[in-house]
Amino acid sequence: MKKIQNTLKNYSIILLAAALSSCTSIRRHNEQRATCVGPDELKEDVDYAYLKLQQMHPQLYWYISKPELDRKFDSLKGTIDEPLTPLQFYFKLQPVIADIREGHLALRIPRKKFTKRQIKSLEHKKGMFSRFEYYIKDDHLFIIQNKDSIENIKPGTEILTINKVPASNYVKKYRELISSDGYNTTFQSYFLKDVFFNFYTAENGFKDTATIETLYNGEKLTYTLHRESKSKNDLDKDKEQEKRTPEKKVNDYVASSDSYNRNFKFLDKDSTTAYIKVKSFSRDYSDKFYKETFAKIKNAGSKYLIIDVRNNYGGSLHEINNLYSYLAPEPYVLIKPSQLTSRITPLKTNYFRKSTPFQYAFKSLAYPTYVFAQTFSTYKKDGKVYYKMKADKPTKPNKDAFQGKVFVLINGGSFSASSIITAKLKYDKRAVLVGEETGGANDGTVAGFYSYQKLPHSKINLPIGLLLVQPNIDFLNTKKGVVPDITITESMQDIIDKKDPQLDWVKNEIAKEKELQ
């Protein structure tokens, strides 16, 4: 009994030490974030970032030449002539990183960290800006959804100023921070509308009020937004949303948005047309989702399938390879062998990153096995180093593979894995692509897994993708996204009116084909 008591006592001491260490770490982080760093140290950070990119990024000069990138980094250093806070430095360095034009490559904005108590306090309050949905066109910021009817602000309202600062200033500033693949122009507005207030709050902090000046139908109005406390019903709803039912697991429920990552339905009474919407290739329970979904489609005898990957920023390579197995008429290879800069690159993935003391101890025991597995996951061919991936091996079609006609809906928010699978579908002539050019490149991207490099003086994190992942196609070398077979754009008014011209075109096309049968 005494031994058990001593063990529990020691365990409590360890937990207390870990908690105190965490609080100290948060305080130090926030103090460092507010402290200016000298120009010489910041220039060293610039050199450090470029060196790590040259060492680890497998396709650094894909969209920009080495002399041009050298010039940009040198020019940046020439502008650093006074001490800056890490946040100020971020706004100088990130636009240069964005000029590399590789969509997955971006510095992590140095944010203020919160204690558990502060986080809990925020969780008991409603969002202020996050309760709206936004649309960005050129340098204009619009509200397109106000589901809580806050201040009765109408969809289509333009935000002119935020706390007396023109919203267009922020749009211009934040657009320079966003990388897209190559010379693609569709991605930035889609992504910026989703991350705009992430940048804003990182720069201006979490406030309890904000004043916005708006324009709607020629009339200017000013509103004061408040960070309201959640009611008991709101908190009860939050708890209910967090419960993981079988349906929530298979469809990958996201509590924060009260929506599902994966949806399936038939669009007509006779089940002729099946529709699958995938918001993110998260992989969670995806095998079961596709197994059940395509069994239903096969049993229904559907002749048409619409796959909607609009506003899908990508995710799991395993999931898109599995999805393709339900679409392929014959054995296929989804991607080409994935290139690395060296055989030791996989060991630079920050194995112990974000580990608690207990996780660190456990991972330490498993580390030799990890090193062994990663070392034997690489191979050399024709002087280049590659990483072994299941998706670059021949895959057989699934027994329930769909045999009918496939349409895929795409737009500028279709990125990364969404672009890889759509590029492959188009090349194999397995689907008709409808919508807009994808935000991700037609010829692949650099992602897979990352090495998180911390700049030595500003302490800003730079995640560097380590794998060159490319669809198994003949490359177009356009340095742009996947171009649809049928180009149909969606306007802000379409979204407000809940119209879907891209899906409507597909429905009409299917109706025409059915009439001819």
pLDDT tens, 218-264? 999 999 999 988 888 877 777 877 777 888 778 878 777 778 889 99
- Confidence at residue 4, expressed as pLDDT on a 0 to 100 scale: 44
Question: What's the rounded Cα separation, in Å, for the pair 298 and 295?
Answer: 5
- Confidence at residue 24, expressed as pLDDT on a 0 to 100 scale: 73
pLDDT of 106 above 90: yes
- Confidence at residue 23, expressed as pLDDT on a 0 to 100 scale: 66
Tokens 């969002």, residue? 127
Which tokens in the block code for residue 417? 């894995």
* Residue range 430-455: mean pLDDT, rounded: 95
Question: What's the rounded Cα separation, in Å, for the pair 87 and 331?
Answer: 50
- Confidence at residue 48, expressed as pLDDT on a 0 to 100 scale: 98
If you average pLDDT over every residue of the chain, what do you get? 90
Question: What's the rounded Cα separation, in Å, for the pair 356 and 69?
Answer: 38
Q: How far is CA 385 from the centre of its chain?
A: 27
Contacts of 111 by beta carbon, 8 Å cutoff, 6+ apart = 33, 202
- DSSP class of residue 485 equals S
Which tokens in the block code for residue 30? 């926030």
113 CB burial (10 A radius; 0-12, 13-18, 19+)? middle
- Confidence at residue 22, expressed as pLDDT on a 0 to 100 scale: 57
Which tokens in the block code for residue 485? 């077979």
Question: What's the rounded Cα separation, in Å, for the pair 433 and 294?
Answer: 20
pLDDT of 386 above 60: yes
* Residue range 308-329: mean pLDDT, rounded: 97
**pLDDT tens digit string along 113-172?**
888 887 787 788 888 999 999 999 999 999 999 989 999 999 999 999 999 999 999 999
Tokens 């809940």, residue? 498
Half-sphere exposure of 295 (CA within 13 A, CB side): 6
Question: What's the rounded Cα separation, in Å, for the pair 200 and 204?
Answer: 6
pTM of the model: 0.90
Q: Are 387 and 297 in contact (CB under 8 A)?
A: no
Q: How far is CA 315 from CA 187, 218, 228, 471, in A?
A: 16, 42, 34, 15
* Residue range 9-25: mean pLDDT, rounded: 51
- Confidence at residue 449, expressed as pLDDT on a 0 to 100 scale: 87
Q: How far is CA 430 from CA 300, 305, 421, 478, 509, in A?
A: 21, 11, 11, 21, 17
Q: Are 309 and 409 in contact (CB under 8 A)?
A: yes
More confident residue, 31 or 491: 491
